[in-house]
Structure 1
Amino acid sequence: MDYFIVVVATLAGLGFHVWLYVRMRRWMDRDLALSLAGGDPHKQAYMLQRLQHARQSKMGRKALAQWLAQEAAAYSR
């Protein structure tokens, strides 16, 4: 019975850490997109839309920052 408790606690801890890691990456990506948009609410909405597009197209993390910067520079209202 002791091994069962250790296994369950370990798996729960690992699952929590994976969930937290994924959430933090999403928060960092969102913060990057919003920081590139500045204070303009229309540009912020546009950048969040572009971030969603990047997530759907499974863009790599290394290319994401540069691509978002290009999208921010290409934004025209």
Structure 2
Amino acid sequence: MDYFIIVVTTAAGLYFHWWLFVRIRRWMDRDLALSLAGDDPQKREYLLHCLQLARDEGVSRSDLPAWLQRAADDYRAG
């Protein structure tokens, strides 16, 4: 029974740390997109949509800042 408790506790701890790591990465990506948008609410929506497109296309994390910067530069209000 002791081994079972150790295995379950270890698995739960590893899962929690993985889940927290993924959440923090998503928050950082979202924060990057919102910081590039500035105070324009339409640009914020546009860049959040672009962020989702980048995730769907499988853009690597190292390429994401440049990808979002290009999307922000291509944005035209109105």
Structure 1 length-normalised TM: 0.98
Shift in Å, 1:11: 0.2
**Cα displacement string for residues 2-54 of structure 1 (whole angstroms, at most 9, x for unaligned residues):** 01100000000000000000011000000000000000000000000000000
State the alpha-carbon separation in 2 of the partners of residues 56 and 70 from structure 1. 17
1:62 is aligned to 62
State the alpha-carbon separation in 1 of the partners of residues 59 and 74 from structure 2. 19
For these two proteins, the number of residue pairs brought into alignment is 77
Give the root-mean-square deviation of aligned CA atoms. 0.5
Structure 2 length-normalised TM: 0.97
2:50 is aligned to 50
Q: Percent identity?
A: 60
